[in-house]
Amino acid sequence: QVTPPAASAAVACPPAPAGAPATGGGTTAPVTFEPGSAGIGDPYYPLDGNGGYDVQNYDLDLAYDPATDVLAGTATIDLVATQNLSAFNLDFDTRDAAGADSIVIGDVRVDGASTAFSLASTQISLVTAQPVGDGSPDAVAEPPRTELTVMPATGILSGTELSVEVDYAGVPITIDDAFGLGGVLHTPDGMVPVGQPRAAAVWFPSNDHPADKATLTMSMTVPIGLDVIGNGVLASTVDNGPTSTWTYVMDRPMATYLATAVVGDYDVQTTTVDGVTYRDAVAQSLYSQGTLGADARTALDLNPDVIAYLSSIYGPYPFTESGGIAVDLPDLGYALENQTRPIYGFIDEPTVVHELAHQWYGDDVAIERWSDIWLNEAFATYSEWLWSEDHGGDTAQQIFDDTYSLDASDPFWSVEVADPGAPRLFDNATYYRGAMTLHALRLEVGDPVFFGILRGWAADNAGGNVSTAQFEAYASAAAGTDLSGFFDTWIHSSVKP
């Protein structure tokens, strides 16, 4: 076993990598290589993501057996070093809450060569000093975050492209925390990888933070007869006899938490409308539970109409694929905006509108830091209000007024929307005060400017990452006036506006 370099230790004069400048000439400073940091720099989740490189593509070649819950195969991560690296980390939560290995790593290769690696687990506790908005706890015990440190034999120069392969096998963990269930949920006939902010690192080694988006190819081999539903285009299905291999390609950059590979017995229907291919899956087991299956199908059938409606407001749908996956997990309690294919733990019309709106706001335009979660949730929630108004339900103004009627002493008003604190990422304030902020902005700047802001924000930041400060600047520029006072009142304050 090899001891990893200490996180802060610079490694001077490692074996010179090919192409490294000569260091013996006297006038050239020696090239130094340092380990990439164990986190990408997000204060809410300090160990999420990593420093020193940028992932370009994940290629997962995996097999899953529902009889044993074992997931096994190889993840290939194409990355570019952004500093001179002596070592670098991947997030890979291979240990359960008791510290036991749930997944065992067989081999790690860098550009084809077996490479030393180590694993270090840290207990995560989410704490905040902020007041409670909707009853979420102040501190939340999480299963440990495990860092996989890869230690190549020679230093890696900044700008170098690397291909990192990780072979692994095991039963991925399920996370049960204040945000509910997440990670990999095992069902009688399959699995559902789902969660936010933690999900990806439970089933594949990754730079697990939305700030490092990457494309994804996911191949999953399962017992014959089961379905696999992933992100993007279903590129191929291969019948291997006792098994079948399904390959999905997500060719636009994606935040890691949006990746999925749902396995099980599903009723899958596909249709193509206006150049978008819809793949809508309903867990077969829902059909034997009253009207759950039929209701899920009815809701998913709304997808093309919802995309048409949202496109008319926000601009072209960012992807060529869409759909949704209604899973049979009564305890999940939420839906998630997985890129091109949201997962529904429950499903109804507003939820479909919400998750599809996230395809613009949250997915194609992703946040740079988790504190900016309102840039996802407020936009998706306000989309529900717009849909309601357009479809004979309450108007956006009525929903705003209802929420505004909450007494000033209600803890709802105490959560700062643009910085809710890690345990309150999904506080009601993120959704409702956030959506109220958008409605108030609409009243402040008028409809033409407001809808121009929403459209332009999606178009100008397509495929990228954004921050609250950028949105404030963008809105102010569009309105031709400094809106910082407005935003201070609505999203940087912990009292009722």
Interface positions with ligand ARG (CB under 6 A): 179-180, 182, 195-196, 334-337, 354-355, 358, 377, 426
The rounded distance, in Å, linking the Cα atoms of 490 and 497 is 6
Nearer to Zn ion, 266 or 379 (CB): 379
The rounded distance, in Å, linking the Cα atoms of 250 and 229 is 12
The 3 state secondary structure assigned to 337-375 is CCCCCCEECCCCHHHHHHHHHCCCECCCEEECCHHHCHH
Nearer to ligand ARG, 117 or 382 (CB): 382
Q: Name the binder of 180 from ligand ARG, Zn ion, none, CB < 5-8 A by kind.
A: ligand ARG
* Vertex 228: Cα angle to 318 and 317 (nearest 5): 10
Q: Which residues pair with 119 in a beta bridge?
A: 148
Q: Which two tokens stand for residue 164?
A: 């990192």
Spell out the long-range contacts of 265-274 with Cβ–Cβ below 8 A and sequence spacing 24 or more. Answer: 265/189, 265/190, 265/225, 265/226, 265/227, 266/227, 266/229, 266/325, 267/293, 267/297, 268/227, 268/229, 269/297, 270/323, 271/304, 273/304, 273/307, 273/308, 274/304, 274/307, 274/308
- In whole angstroms, the minimum distance from the beta carbon of 425 to ligand ARG comes to 8
String marking each residue 101-120 x if it binds Zn ion according to CB under 5 A: --------------------
Nearer to ligand ARG, 66 or 341 (CB): 341
The rounded distance, in Å, linking the Cα atoms of 211 and 250 is 17
Query: Hey, which residues between 371 and 400 contact Zn ion (CB under 5 A)?
Result: 377, 380
- In whole angstroms, the minimum distance from the beta carbon of 70 to Zn ion comes to 32
Size of the site for Zn ion (CB under 5 A): 2
- The stretches of 94-232 forming alpha helices (DSSP H) are 200-203
- In whole angstroms, the minimum distance from the beta carbon of 354 to Zn ion comes to 5
- In whole angstroms, the minimum distance from the beta carbon of 432 to ligand ARG comes to 12
Query: Residue 314: which of 252, 351, 356 has the closest Cα?
Result: 356
Q: Name the binder of 14 from Zn ion, ligand ARG, none, CB < 5-8 A by kind.
A: none
Nearer to ligand ARG, 179 or 309 (CB): 179
Residue 443 amino acid letter? L
Nearer to Zn ion, 215 or 388 (CB): 388
> 37: which DSSP letter?
P
Do the Cβ atoms of 142 and 177 come closer than 8 Å? yes
CB-based closest residue to Zn ion: 380
Nearer to Zn ion, 48 or 377 (CB): 377
String marking each residue 240-279 x if it binds Zn ion according to CB under 5 A: ----------------------------------------
- In whole angstroms, the minimum distance from the beta carbon of 337 to Zn ion comes to 6
Nearer to Zn ion, 261 or 352 (CB): 352
Q: Which two tokens stand for residue 95?
A: 């240990």
Q: Name the binder of 203 from Zn ion, ligand ARG, none, CB < 5-8 A by kind.
A: none
Query: Hey, which residues between 117 and 176 contact Zn ion (CB under 5 A)?
Result: none
- In whole angstroms, the minimum distance from the beta carbon of 374 to ligand ARG comes to 11
